[in-house]
Structure 1
């Protein structure tokens, strides 16, 4: 590539805060690994207090740096995390027509890689900050947010849902231009709460990115995908009607179907822990025996997302905090779209 003009290092910097999301109807499996087109659509809520804040600066070499630098939660990255981040920076460089290296620093407000969609908020924030940094440096061909979301989707499918606040549906589509996420309802539509019960804050042995590619090996995947449209219709209607009972029942069923696919894949993926299963039973007991309106869902990890209405969030958080299996809790309402910030991490 022909060298592009050197950017102003001090102007060519931007910071974005983006929010993770929790899917009530989940996507698992891809039909096009290069474009990261999902096997099925999904529907989620953006989370108000689970976010990644990322600063990106571009330069064309000395005296700053000559290769990409990636720092996450204070630790300079190497290995798989570094390669995946640089691969996405390459994607952005190609889209923008530049060849400059970047420095990336990111901080999470929650445990990364533990089933709380850290890649969604991370790649959303990275994409917005990287594009905005180039715009700040005078680059005129910056992709709009829709194009940015499609770029982020190629790095992490669920990242495209984090480009919208509130309640968001990602249509599977059939190609890059039609696999997009749209808002179903804004953050102010419903005071639904997700109390994240952290049972394990460590990294997973297999990332969701790799796990998606095993979905097709499960004999249950085809049936799971067949049921998704009815789940989406019911969940969408429940959100519009603010009906926790219907949304909660769909969320629990859809999560269990996804984990059944994981367990029956080749090789099998077992993300749930003994504590996960015990807490699921406890939550159902609270609902069925004590009439506490509470439901769960769980992503690709051991941590549970416990859904409740605003009136019950204090009681639910208190009970979870006292659980012997729970290390920490994180209370979220519906969160906003990505936000550009004036203060930078470096």
Structure 2
């Protein structure tokens, strides 16, 4: 389906720049089939975030003169040789679908607007940005690509670098992984959520508390592998798919309280899996727990619709309706700033 079989003329060099935004999963993907092609064991859905939470990647390519591929990677201007093995593995995986890559050497210059590997899906935005750059090369080879195919293949490629990256290709609510209730959903690439949603979910605020800027103790790729022998894995996958059905209903009727309770439970369920794997890990920090308890107390006292979710890290996403932004944001800065290194204000759109 995505093999590049057309004849093409090679341009000797070029520079491409693309930007891709991070995403926050509502129904979490945690666990994949025991292979190297990134097939999820349950479906997931995420919001791709708005401004301030992105990766910008510049891909410089030039004709390869030697047999072996050469890749250099720079993050915020500093060369990262430790990144090269993962990028090489990614290029090897996608070479079957992008045969033209064998003709080039690459310099990858990337910049994150947020801390790398801290649990805010930096691999999702970085791999999706790189995949979009690669698809731009494919466009330059003289083959007319339809818009739908361009993004579908970009999502397919991004998945082979980082599972959640396939969702960051698209804006808004994005689904990855086959689910019987979602038309067009599949395991190979992500799709935009295909159904109408209540207006309250077309734009909500996502305020991110950076509690720990250090890299996570466990990489997501390792965490997914631990689900293969996890004692509670089968029930988790069943539960995640049931929660997807529940979320479909919530998105339609617009019940923000039920939405919030579901995403909080999904986040805590994810961390429960991490804490009960073998070996086990604890990604939350003391300040993560403080923030969670403060959110719960504030919600009870104020009757405001503020809820949290987390990826596999210590940092917290606070989601709430845009109409309640003024009072909630004021409370966040006055009561939660103490617990965080930095606060990032973003949005979840679904146009």
> What TM-score bracket applies, with the shorter chain setting the length?
0.7 to 0.9
TM-score (norm 2): 0.86
Any gaps of 5 or more consecutive residues in structure 1?
A: 338-346
Q: Is the 8 A contact 1:13 1:134 kept in 2?
A: no
Q: Which residue is equivalent to 1:119?
A: 123
Output aligned runs, 1:220-231, within 5 Å. Answer: 220-231=232-243
Of 140, 155, 162, which aligns to 1:149?
155
Q: Partners in 2 of 1:111 and 1:186 — Cα distance? A: 34
SS at match of 1:227: helix
Secondary structure of 2:339's match?
Answer: coil
Cα distance in 2 for partners of 1:42, 1:258 equals 12
Aligned residue in 1 for 2:4: none
In structure 2, the residue matched to 1:325 is 339
From the superposition, tell whether residues 111 and 195 of structure 1 become closer, same or farther in structure 2 (CA, over 3 Å).
same
1:133 aligns with 2:137: yes
- Greater mean deviation of Cα atoms: 187-196 or 109-118: 187-196
Q: 2:56 is matched with which residue: 49, 53, 58?
A: 53
Structure 2: which 5+ residue stretches go unaligned? 1-7
How far residue 319 of structure 1 moved from its aligned partner, in angstroms, is 2.9
Give per-residue Cα distances to partners, 1:210-240, cap 9 Å, x unaligned. 1111123332222211111221112122223
1:83 corresponding residue in structure 2: 85
Q: Which whole-Å deviations, capped at 9, do the CAs of 1:110-140 have from their partners, x for residues lacking one?
A: 112111111111100000112203433x353
Whether 1:292 aligns to 2:301 is no
Structure 2 match to 1:248 = 260
Distance 1:88 1:315 in 2: 45
Contact 1:54–1:107 (CA under 8 A) maintained in structure 2: yes
Instruction: Determine which structure has greater relative contact order: mean sequence separation of CA pairs < 8 Å that are 6+ residues apart, divided by chain length.
Output: 1
1:343 aligned residue = none
Task: Determine the C-alpha separation between the residues in 2 that align with 1:141 and 1:217.
Answer: 45
Q: CA deviation at 1:62?
A: 6.4
Partner of 2:5: none
Secondary structure at the aligned position of 1:33 is classed as coil
Q: Counterparts of 1:89-238 in structure 2 under 5 Å?
A: 89-98=91-100, 99=102, 100-136=104-140, 138=141, 140=143, 144-172=150-178, 178-184=187-193, 190-238=202-250
- CA distance 1:254–1:238, change in 2 (3 Å): same
RMSD between aligned residues: 2.6
Q: State how far apart, in whole Å, the 2-side matches of 1:135 and 1:13 are.
A: 13
Deviates more, 1:123-132 or 1:240-249: 240-249
Q: Report the CA distance shift for 1:224/1:177 in structure 2 as closer, same or farther (over 3 A).
A: closer
1:281 equivalent among 281, 284, 293: 293
Give me the whole-angstrom Cα distance separating, in 1, the residues matched to 2:259 and 2:159: 25
Give the distance between the partners of 1:77 and 1:173, measured in 2 at CA: 38
Q: 1:177 to 1:308 in 2, by over 3 A?
A: closer
